[in-house]
Structure 1
Amino acid sequence: MPTRSIRGRLQEALPKLVLAPSFAAVVVFVYGFILWTIYLSFTNSKTFPNYTLTGARAYQRLWTWTFETDPPSSWYTSITNLGIFGVLYIGLCLALGLLLAILLDQKIRGEGVLRPIYLYPMALSFIVTGVAWKWFLDPGLGLEQTLHQWGWTSFHFDWIKNKDRVIYTVVIAGVWQASGFVMAMFLAGLRGIDGEIMKAAQIDGATPWQLYRRIVIPMLRPVFLSAFIVLAHMAIKSYDLVVALTSGGPGGSAWLPSNFMYEYTFKRNEMAVGSASAVIMLMTITAIIVPYLYSELKEKGR
Structure 2
Amino acid sequence: MKSYLERWQPQLLLAPSLIACLLFFYGFMLWTGWISLTRSGMLPSSEFVGLLQYQRLFADERWLGALGNLARFATLFVIIPLVLGLLLAILLDQKLRAEGALRLVYLHPMALSLIVTGTVWRWLLDPELGLALGVRELGWTSFRFDWLGDEDLALYTLVIAAVWQISGFVMAVFLAGLRGVDEAIVQAARLDGAEGFTLYRRILLPTLGPSLFSALLVLLPAAIKSFDLVVALTDGGPGHASELPALYMFQMAFERSRLGLGAASAMVLLMMVLSVALPYVYARQRRLRSAG
The DSSP-based 3-state class of the residue aligned with 1:11 is helix
Deviations 1:23-68 (A, max 9, x none): 01111110011111111111111000011110111111111122xx
The DSSP-based 3-state class of the residue aligned with 2:181 is coil
| Match in the other structure for 2:208 | 220
Amino acid in the other structure paired with 2:19: A
Q: Is residue 174 of structure 1 aligned with residue 181 of structure 2?
A: no
| Match in the other structure for 2:37 | 42
Q: Is residue 75 of structure 1 aligned with residue 53 of structure 2?
A: no
| Match in the other structure for 1:99 | 87
The DSSP-based 3-state class of the residue aligned with 1:50 is coil
Amino acid in the other structure paired with 2:30: L
Q: 2:274 aligns with which of 277, 286, 294?
A: 286
Amino acid in the other structure paired with 1:228: L
| Match in the other structure for 1:256 | 244
Amino acid in the other structure paired with 2:59: T
The TM-score with structure 1 as length reference comes to 0.93
| Match in the other structure for 1:114 | 102
| Match in the other structure for 1:205 | 193
Q: Is residue 89 of structure 1 aligned with residue 77 of structure 2?
A: yes
Q: Is residue 56 of structure 1 aligned with residue 44 of structure 2?
A: no
| Match in the other structure for 2:7 | 12
| Match in the other structure for 1:69 | none
The DSSP-based 3-state class of the residue aligned with 2:145 is coil
* Structure-2 separation of matches of 1:159 and 1:215: 42
Q: 1:24 aligns with which of 7, 19, 28?
A: 19
Q: 1:151 aligns with which of 130, 139, 156?
A: 139
Out of 175-184 and 201-210, give the one that drifted further.
201-210
| Match in the other structure for 1:276 | 264
| Match in the other structure for 1:142 | 130
The DSSP-based 3-state class of the residue aligned with 1:252 is coil
Amino acid in the other structure paired with 1:208: G
How many angstroms does 1:161 deviate by? 1.1
The number of equivalent residue pairs is 290
Q: 1:188 aligns with which of 176, 183, 187?
A: 176
- Structure 1 stretches lacking a partner, 5+ long: 1-5, 67-73
User: CA RMSD, aligned part only?
Assistant: 1.1
* Structure-2 separation of matches of 1:182 and 1:12: 42
Amino acid in the other structure paired with 1:288: V
Percentage of pairs with the same residue: 50
How many angstroms does 1:206 deviate by? 2.4
* Structure-1 separation of matches of 2:206 and 2:140: 45
* Structure-2 separation of matches of 1:40 and 1:165: 36
The DSSP-based 3-state class of the residue aligned with 2:152 is coil
* Structure-2 separation of matches of 1:140 and 1:161: 11
How many angstroms does 1:283 deviate by? 0.2
How many angstroms does 1:235 deviate by? 1.0
How many angstroms does 1:252 deviate by? 2.4
Amino acid in the other structure paired with 1:213: R
The DSSP-based 3-state class of the residue aligned with 1:32 is helix
The TM-score with structure 2 as length reference comes to 0.97
How many angstroms does 1:7 deviate by? 3.0
Amino acid in the other structure paired with 1:118: Y
Amino acid in the other structure paired with 2:161: A
- Structure 2 stretches lacking a partner, 5+ long: none
Deviations 1:158-203 (A, max 9, x none): 1111111111000100010011111111111111111121122222
How many angstroms does 1:207 deviate by? 4.0
* Structure-1 separation of matches of 2:143 and 2:175: 37
